[in-house]
Amino acid sequence: ICFSECGYDYECLLGEGCYGSVFKGIHREDRSKKAAIKCIRTYGPESYLEVDGEPRPVLAEVAMMLRSGSSCSSIIKLHDWMENDVGFILIMEVPDQSMTLYRYLKNCGSIDGGTASRFRQQLLDAVKHLFSCGIFHGDLHLENVLVSESSLDLKVIDFGCALAIEDEPFESSDYHGNEIFCPPEIDDQTTFFAEPAYVWCLAAMFEKIMKACEMNEWCYIIRLCLARDPADRLRLHQM
């Protein structure tokens, strides 16, 4: 259904989840243009948020991507979006020859220190940008980050669990992210805040990257960021 409306032809399936699927598409008129096409079914008014410049509320995932803008190169870009009777269609950039950071680390087995530091800085830049825009990603983990094999540029993807930071403290029951990278306060407390949760998720990812390059330089910082009590963790600007 979505390909008959968005001007792209189907090339392949990139991924699918509970609420939708992501396909790779080729533009019908300009075959040099490719995009990731995400088709999302929506359920109920809780899926919508108001956005400046839009006449009516839009899907929360769209709202968060619009809020993020296009100034951070480490976050996937939303080119266009549309709504139909079933849900929303998101047209996003698709990096060439890319794979998830999880798959990249697994395939490589080991990486050099320079690559590890490059990954760490890009992830930190992306999270700082999202935080400054008032966005809590909500599902930050290795499989929601793409790596371009040629440039080693990273792209944070999938804003389906994102929350607006002005609504914090968040109810812990509103966290729907990956369990492996879930901050402990989600289980320990009834509410949580974006910044310490971000710090925990980043540190958990840094730990995986550090193990892939067999370096110990980050151990002290990671330990401070993985404190069980959110109040004891470093702040984003201290990372």
Closest Cα to residue 143, out of 194, 104, 170, 195?
104
Backbone angles phi, psi at 102, to 5 degrees: -60, -50
CA separation for the pair 103, 100 (Å, rounded): 5
CA separation for the pair 8, 62 (Å, rounded): 19
The end-to-end CA distance of the chain, in Å, is: 45
Residue-level length of the chain? 239
24 is in an annotated binding site: no
Nearest 10 degrees: Cα torsion 118, 121, 124, 130 = -80
Look-up: residue for tokens 């909500």? 138
CA separation for the pair 108, 74 (Å, rounded): 21
CA separation for the pair 68, 71 (Å, rounded): 8
| Residue stretches of the annotated binding site | 38
| Residue stretches of the annotated binding site for ATP | 38
